[in-house]
Structure 1
């Protein structure tokens, strides 16, 4: 089939490489909050300075400059705080580089799409896969100006990437822009300042194996006592030996608490981060650690007993169980979620839908097949033009978050994930599976058919169903067969040419004594064959044989036997 891109092979999704759990700090005193704010503000200012130095170094940064940065921060805090700060700023610079690369790819996609549409005549219609020309000369002119603007941006971003320059905002660029439009962000000046300062605090420390309870800087005991090693300028605020400050409250980790306790009892590395939620007015501590890579199940073993195909949509997950041969089993399932409202509400909805899907999969002891989606190149307004609702739809789908959550939750339950190429799954699924799976008691949706297509691709079978058997006769009454002629053969949809001769099962075309008289006489002699005195039809009787069944399809003739 020409014009279709090559479909990548399915693969088993690797498991997560780390775990993070969170607990709340309830019962903090006023002095505790004061100390946390002072420590966070001091270390945050040091992190901002170090980030400036790291961004200025660019691509010329090496281990010597890293050591120099760490010595500069150590003099104002401690060696362990300095190690955490320099590592965090380097990771932030690397993240900005990845974001810069993604932005360059987005600009290239937009420029290519605009250039293509500008080359088409104004008002020309597009196909389903690509848009046509612009609607009017005014729109064409506006897009030509935007093309020049995007080309300038692309040239500037390429120059910054070659030079190693990145633009990073500690606290978040979105929050920084909200400062200029507080009414739209529903914030006050004081509220925005509190969020800005809390977002720029730095209260996180990496763990170290072999040290007491896995961390010397922020230490959490097995009974939940939290103590912090204060930086040198704030050492006078310590309430415990060795310049440490012990909080008045205790923290409890409800999720994975036993794993956390086992790790700190063995003095294994444990990283902690203390942060403040301005909306709720609460302090939290997050514990994280690395886990060994999970042994991946071979692809053949993952799909040996069948699997469950899952199609992700804007408001639900469509799932269907398939056996080892790629046949749908049972009824389709639908797991709804609502992505409107606040971010915590959306996260809860997503987790609830995923856990229902995983529990259903666990009962059947199967794997899950899901699409390897990536909408970064699909959300541009250059490709979808004025279809704003569709752009908002695909932009609002939390594809990366769903993928990360599903990977971690499936690994916890021991469920294998198989990722497939998303090319043409919805289209081909609806074409080949939606109508055959629809019955009087079940209405199969396009998303259910896409789930079947995803599952078949993960199993290694083609999405198209097997070739249908031939019809009861060779006429066109039974409709067009699924496999008859390729798309490149001209006239494949036309009727078959008529073959002269009798239409019987025993005699072929052109056989028999009167075979030449069975056709239509030439023009001007219609009926002459029946008006001749020597014709056998005038002297002998004809009747239908009881053993010969007539074929009543259009374009066919009846079979008759002569009796003397």
Structure 2
């Protein structure tokens, strides 16, 4: 019998630690558009040069070199612009280092898998935990060549890691590669060039508490007036004193606008980023700030009104509501989304599906949603799944991290707790114990619906299987209560069933008479009515 891996306990996911809201800069004049393009291009060139310097420093970076870079940029922009640029370069280098370490771990795992399979005889069958040998001599030869390729790649990456070298592309590697496939992307050279330049612009400023409206570089007043501190070479473009340029557009954040207004009126830090959507020809501004983490509610409090179990799939969310005893209520719900198309379309699809899920949870009065704690970062390699290319594409296309982050943020505003459960065996055991019993002539229960029930029961601490084993000795309840649907302390669990309205027969059915709830009146073994002492009158 195969050994099952241990199941991690369920836990309530902490709330978000930051907020980001966005609004469109409408009614910009041609002068406003020109100034934004000039400022973004100038600061973007400075950011590219600073990132190059930071990458050249490698592991030899220190506070003195950081201060030297900032002093050099201050004369070409301003002190605050220089601070924002150097901080962004440092964060980009640190992110590249983390990605480099993850790539090294993936290569090490792939090399270990190939080495082990090459050492096995050709055609040897594997087990559930370990794959067997390769199927043919041709595959063995191809994998031996791939092993040398991965080893060379790992050697280069380790040399880069030790030297502090990273590979960074300002503007994005994906957009850079699109330059070689313009026909497939449906873009012309000029259209690609416009997108490439816009992605490399720099129009972002960190907030600073204690300063006017929380940001001295990009400032937004409570009435929505947007002003930018111009860099020194572009100071002649200012239309107000002190080297600032005021845009004709007025900003009003519809989402969390009151929170944003409270922060800027209290002069608390708010970071802003201005960016251009080249495809639409629209300018947007994003405001972000940190919030204190909300206190996590206890698991028992979150589950007091039941739970909604959610099974995440590549094209839909399968959800089912469970009561406090783990029993499915009503019919399953499916919230579909389409992940084809642009990134904006995929993001909108995920957000729309989560919105419908949260609306249904509020309508049901449920205060908790259980979801699997999925992480496919270490499970997508071709060496892990072999020829199952469609399966690799399936798990690669599932937006697990984006869906989880958005669900946590949106549920926090709705007062709904998110419970993360271990995803082990939920689909298999859910289909085994719940798919057939929940299928009726009017309802088709899928494997994903049954998995949602299993996820909800695991969050509640109930076993996934529906019933315990039958009593070993006889058919009575001498060995204990037969089901696990209600706990022993639940009141009324041994009581009579409720009467079903409507005249079915003229006489009371079995178990529906006057003595239905009196256990002593029933002819059952080991009851007090059977074993009571007879009373004799003198």
Q: What is the TM-score with the length of structure 1 in the denominator?
A: 0.80
| Secondary structure at 1:275 match in 2 | strand
Counterpart contact for 2:104–2:154, Cα < 8 Å = yes
Q: CA deviation at 1:441?
A: 3.1
Cα distance per residue 1:334-389 (max 9 Å; x no partner):
11112222222222221111111111112323201111111122222222222222
| Structure 1 residues 92-171: aligned runs within 5 Å | 92-126=92-126, 131-171=131-171
Which residue does the alignment assign to 2:412?
Answer: 411
Counterpart contact for 2:367–2:415, Cα < 8 Å = no
Relative to structure 1, is the Cα distance of residues 322 and 129 closer, same or farther in structure 2, using a 3 angstrom cutoff? farther
Whether 2:464 is the aligned partner of 1:469: answer no
Which residue does the alignment assign to 1:447?
Answer: 448
2: distance between equivalents of 1:466 and 1:250? 62
| Structure 1 residues 329-348: aligned runs within 5 Å | 329-348=329-348
Cα distance per residue 1:118-150 (max 9 Å; x no partner):
233333444566554333211211111111111
2: distance between equivalents of 1:188 and 1:146? 37
Which residue does the alignment assign to 1:369?
Answer: 370
Which residue does the alignment assign to 1:18?
Answer: 18
2: distance between equivalents of 1:9 and 1:53? 47
Counterpart contact for 1:358–1:410, Cα < 8 Å = yes
2: distance between equivalents of 1:84 and 1:198? 18
2: distance between equivalents of 1:415 and 1:348? 21
2: distance between equivalents of 1:361 and 1:112? 46
Cα distance per residue 1:500-519 (max 9 Å; x no partner):
xxxxxxxxxxxxxxxxxxxx
2: distance between equivalents of 1:260 and 1:150? 50
Root-mean-square deviation (Å) = 2.2
Which residue does the alignment assign to 2:48?
Answer: 48
Relative to structure 1, is the Cα distance of residues 138 and 383 closer, same or farther in structure 2, using a 3 angstrom cutoff? same
Cα distance per residue 1:502-558 (max 9 Å; x no partner):
xxxxxxxxxxxxxxxxxxxxxxxxxxxxxxxxxxxxxxxxxxxxxxxxxxxxxxxxx
Which residue does the alignment assign to 2:379?
Answer: 378
Q: CA deviation at 1:29?
A: 1.9
Counterpart contact for 2:338–2:346, Cα < 8 Å = yes
Q: Which runs of 5+ in 1 are unaligned?
A: 475-480, 483-564
| Higher gyration radius (CA) | 1
| Structure 1 residues 202-281: aligned runs within 5 Å | 202-281=202-281
Cα distance per residue 1:29-66 (max 9 Å; x no partner):
22211111111111111111211222222233232322
Which residue does the alignment assign to 1:29?
Answer: 29
2: distance between equivalents of 1:457 and 1:216? 50
Relative to structure 1, is the Cα distance of residues 160 and 6 closer, same or farther in structure 2, using a 3 angstrom cutoff? farther
Relative to structure 1, is the Cα distance of residues 197 and 370 closer, same or farther in structure 2, using a 3 angstrom cutoff? same
Whether 2:353 is the aligned partner of 1:353: answer yes
Which residue does the alignment assign to 2:3?
Answer: 3
Cα distance per residue 1:460-489 (max 9 Å; x no partner):
233233323259989xxxxxx99xxxxxxx
Counterpart contact for 2:308–2:366, Cα < 8 Å = no
Which residue does the alignment assign to 2:460?
Answer: 459
Q: CA deviation at 1:2?
A: 4.3
Which residue does the alignment assign to 2:318?
Answer: 318
Q: CA deviation at 1:113?
A: 2.8
Q: CA deviation at 1:161?
A: 2.2
Q: CA deviation at 1:243?
A: 0.4
Counterpart contact for 1:106–1:376, Cα < 8 Å = no
2: distance between equivalents of 1:162 and 1:429? 48
Counterpart contact for 2:306–2:366, Cα < 8 Å = no
| Secondary structure at 1:91 match in 2 | helix
Which residue does the alignment assign to 1:427?
Answer: 428
1: distance between equivalents of 2:4 and 2:73? 56
Counterpart contact for 1:130–1:383, Cα < 8 Å = no
Counterpart contact for 1:109–1:377, Cα < 8 Å = no
1: distance between equivalents of 2:61 and 2:157? 20
| Secondary structure at 2:276 match in 1 | strand
Aligned length: 476
Q: CA deviation at 1:198?
A: 0.7
1: distance between equivalents of 2:465 and 2:308? 18
1: distance between equivalents of 2:152 and 2:368? 48
2: distance between equivalents of 1:406 and 1:385? 32
Q: Which runs of 5+ in 2 are unaligned?
A: 476-481, 484-538
Cα distance per residue 1:177-215 (max 9 Å; x no partner):
222232223222211211111111000111112222111
Q: What is the TM-score with the length of structure 2 in the denominator?
A: 0.84
Counterpart contact for 1:104–1:158, Cα < 8 Å = yes
Which residue does the alignment assign to 2:397?
Answer: 396
| Secondary structure at 2:113 match in 1 | helix
